[in-house]
Amino acid sequence: MSRNYEKRKSVTRSENLNFNRRLSAFEDFMKRTISVLQGVWSKLNYIRELRSSDGRYLHWGLAQTHGQDATERMLADVHSELYLQLLRTPLTELFEQLEMSAEDAGCSGGQLAEQLYRERRRLTPSDMRGGSPEHLRSVLLITDLLSKHRRKGSSGYSEENRGGKSV
C-alpha cells in the first residue's frame, strides 16, 4: 500500500483550482446548449425562442447559475453574433442549413422560413452591429421562395432558373 501512495502524482494548487472552476455564462451556454444545434438557423431560432416580446432573454437554468443580468447580456451578445453570421453566410449554404434545421424542427424548410419571417422582429437583436432588418427580411424571403420552388418539384435553383443572373 505504501508503494501506491508514493507513486501518486501530486496536484499543484493551480491545477486543483482550475479543475473546479465554474464556467462563465458564455462558456456554459456555448458548451452545454448551443453546441448541440446544427447550423445558424437552428441557433438563431433557439435564441428567438428565448427572447420575449419585450426583448428580454429568459433562460431559467443560466439565470439560476449566473444571474439574470449576466445571462441577458450574454444572450444578447450571442444573438448579435449569430445575426451577423446569418447575414454573412452565402445563400446556397443558408438554404442547405434551412432544410437541415427544418428537418430537426419537424417541418419543411418553407414552413420554418415562414415562421422565422413572421417572427423576424424577435430574430433581430437590439444591437445589430452593422446588420440591417431589411437584409434579414430579404434573406428570409429568398430562402422561403427557394424552398417553395424546390417543393414544387424542381431539382434545385440552377442558372437556367435564374436566367443566368446571380442571386
Concatenate the DSSP letters of all residues of 115-161 into one string.
Answer: HHHHTHHHHS-S--TT--HHHHHHHHHHHHHHHHHHHTT-S---HHH
Establish if 166 belongs to a structural domain. no
d(CA 12, CA 14): 6
DSSP state of 1: -
Bridge partners of residue 57, in order along the sequence? 51
Name the pTM for this structure. Answer: 0.77
Query: Would you say 123 and 116 are in contact if contact means Cβ atoms under 8 Å apart?
Result: yes
d(CA 112, CA 114): 5
Identity at 119, one-letter amino acid code: E
In terms of residue numbers, what domain contains 84?
A: 24-152
Establish if 13 belongs to a structural domain. no
| Number of separate domains in the chain | 1
CA 109 to chain CA mean position, Å:
16
Q: What pLDDT shows up at residue 80?
A: 98
- Indicate the range of 17-26, 44-53, 74-83, 117-126 predicted with least confidence: 17-26
Establish if 8 belongs to a structural domain. no
pLDDT digits over 116-129, tens only? 999 999 999 999 99
Establish if 9 belongs to a structural domain. no
- Indicate the range of 13-22, 83-92, 156-165 predicted with least confidence: 156-165
Q: What pLDDT shows up at residue 108?
A: 87
Establish if 17 belongs to a structural domain. no
For residue 51, give the 3-state DSSP assignment.
strand
Establish if 84 belongs to a structural domain. yes
Establish if 82 belongs to a structural domain. yes
Among candidate residues 71, 45, 42, 40, the one with its CA nearest the CA of residue 58: 71
- Unique residue bearing C-alpha cell 448551443: 34
Establish if 157 belongs to a structural domain. no
- Indicate the range of 17-21, 76-80, 97-101, 124-128 predicted with least confidence: 17-21
